[in-house]
């Protein structure tokens, strides 16, 4: 079977070795004569797999002992509601950095419950940069400050952080595991799995344990992080297949040398593509260089009338899902961990040929 290079933002491309392993095991997992899709999450075999996957995730990120990891349903969008419910009280002050589409989604959810103060925003410049920490203005009464370090749609990112006096909570859906991360600088790191971890349907959260102590008993059971932590993410039936695939992705990353090695590859892929775009007469990226994402690279054509032609021809060239989000337009190349460098080379070759034929 001939596979295309999948530049989709999520659900996103998965490592081919992982897909091949899953294909081999899908009918008969571990010689049990049943599929992993069919086995109980309470069985010893599944419990062993889940524990190993969780430990591999901890190892990859060097998560300190005073943090816990939970896997749960709902991706990041559900947790945008869980964050204010768990870590503040109704009508208390919380702070948010408005860096784009997904930050605004999180703000909208928090406003249903809290008094939200915007500590910093780049909306006035159409989100073409990410407000750095020195620009944040934080109310001393805030329970926490929330940030979206990588805006999947806008292609802006903040990739390093300083420690803060209040809990820093971050939606890392589209950049988790892309490079080393100092977990101890955060109170909570959460997100959806469908970018760098595995199939859609699985969410993750890394929580500093002391923050769990303040969660109110009135928080609904399934929305309470303590529920999932106390039950090893198995209070109810978890997304078993997604968790199983995630475990394989974690082992694949370990086999490559971990996050230090994959970050070198990711930076090289992004640098190569940005360099070509910046030198082009047809394509351009309008994000400030210091704020550019290494996971999601949007670009526009100077002649918008060519957009449909570009997309039609890209698919015929085995380059899949390059259409930009409707709120931004143009194109977007999501180049997560599983995107091989060959995919970047093929994309650049196509873009060069298309530019030559259309300018």
Tokens at residue 287, please? 């994000």
d(CA 37, CA 49): 13
How big is the chain, counted in residues? 359
3-state secondary structure of 346: helix
d(CA 26, CA 34): 8
E strands, the chain, are: 5-6, 67-72, 93-98, 115-121, 145-147, 168-171, 188-192, 203-208, 283-284, 296-301, 319-320, 331-334
d(CA 87, CA 146): 11
Report CA 54 to chain centroid distance, whole Å.
Answer: 17
Torsion of Cα atoms, 336 then 341 then 345 then 348, to 10° = 20
* Sequence-distant (≥ 6) Cβ neighbours of residue 140 within 8 angstroms: none
Give yes or no for a contact between 317 and 183, defined as CB atoms under 8 angstroms apart. Answer: no
| Residue reference for tokens 């923050």 | 211
| Residue reference for tokens 């360099």 | 275
Which residue of the set 4, 59, 89, 195 is catalytic? Answer: 195
Q: Is 252 a catalytic residue?
A: no
Tokens at residue 116, please? 């939200």
d(CA 261, CA 183): 18
Q: Is 195 a catalytic residue?
A: yes
Which residue of the set 4, 29, 30, 102 is catalytic? Answer: 102
Q: Is 171 a catalytic residue?
A: yes
Least Cα distance to 86 among 212, 198, 186 occurs for 212
Give yes or no for a contact between 225 and 114, defined as CB atoms under 8 angstroms apart. Answer: no
Which residue of the set 171, 243, 248, 269 is catalytic? Answer: 171
Give yes or no for a contact between 354 and 317, defined as CB atoms under 8 angstroms apart. Answer: no
d(CA 261, CA 66): 26
d(CA 208, CA 102): 23
Q: Is the peptide bond before 162 cis (omega within 30 degrees of 0)?
A: no
Residues classed as catalytic: 102, 171, 195
């Amino acid at each position: 079977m001939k596979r295309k290079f999948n530049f989709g933002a999520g659900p996103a491309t998965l490592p081919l070795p992982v897909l091949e392993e899953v294909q081999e095991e899908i009918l008969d997992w571990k010689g049990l004569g049943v599929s992993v899709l069919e086995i109980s999450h309470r069985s010893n075999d599944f419990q062993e797999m889940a524990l190993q996957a969780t430990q591999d995730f901890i190892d990859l990120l060097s998560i300190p002992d005073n943090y816990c990891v939970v896997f749960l349903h709902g991706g990041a969008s559900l947790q945008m509601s869980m964050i204010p419910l768990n870590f503040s009280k109704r009508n208390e002050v919380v702070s948010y950095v408005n860096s784009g589409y997904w930050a605004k989604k999180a703000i909208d959810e928090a406003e249903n419950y809290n008094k939200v103060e915007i500590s910093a925003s780049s909306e006035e410049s159409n989100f073409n940069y990410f407000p750095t920490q020195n620009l944040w203005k934080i109310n001393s009464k805030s329970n926490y400050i929330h940030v979206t370090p990588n805006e999947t749609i806008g292609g802006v990112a903040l990739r390093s952080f300083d420690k803060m006096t209040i809990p820093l909570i971050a939606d890392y859906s589209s950049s988790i595991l892309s490079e080393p991360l100092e977990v101890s600088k955060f109170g909570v790191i959460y997100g959806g799995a469908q970018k760098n971890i595995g199939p859609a349907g699985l969410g993750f959260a890394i929580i500093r344990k002391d923050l769990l102590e303040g969660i109110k008993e009135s928080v609904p059971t399934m929305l309470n992080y303590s529920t999932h932590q106390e039950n090893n993410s198995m209070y109810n039936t978890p997304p078993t297949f997604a968790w199983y695939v995630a475990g394989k992705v974690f082992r694949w990353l370990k086999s490559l040398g971990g996050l230090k090695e994959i970050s070198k590859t990711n930076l090289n892929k992004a640098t190569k593509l940005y360099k070509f775009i910046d030198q082009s007469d047809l394509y351009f990226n309008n994000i400030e260089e210091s704020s550019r994402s290494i996971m999601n690279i949007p670009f526009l054509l100077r002649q918008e009338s060519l957009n449909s032609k570009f997309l039609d021809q890209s698919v015929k060239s085995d380059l899949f899902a390059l259409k930009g989000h409707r709120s931004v337009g143009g194109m977007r190349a999501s180049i997560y961990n599983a995107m091989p460098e060959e995919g970047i080379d093929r994309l650049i070759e196509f873009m060069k040929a298309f530019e030559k034929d259309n300018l």
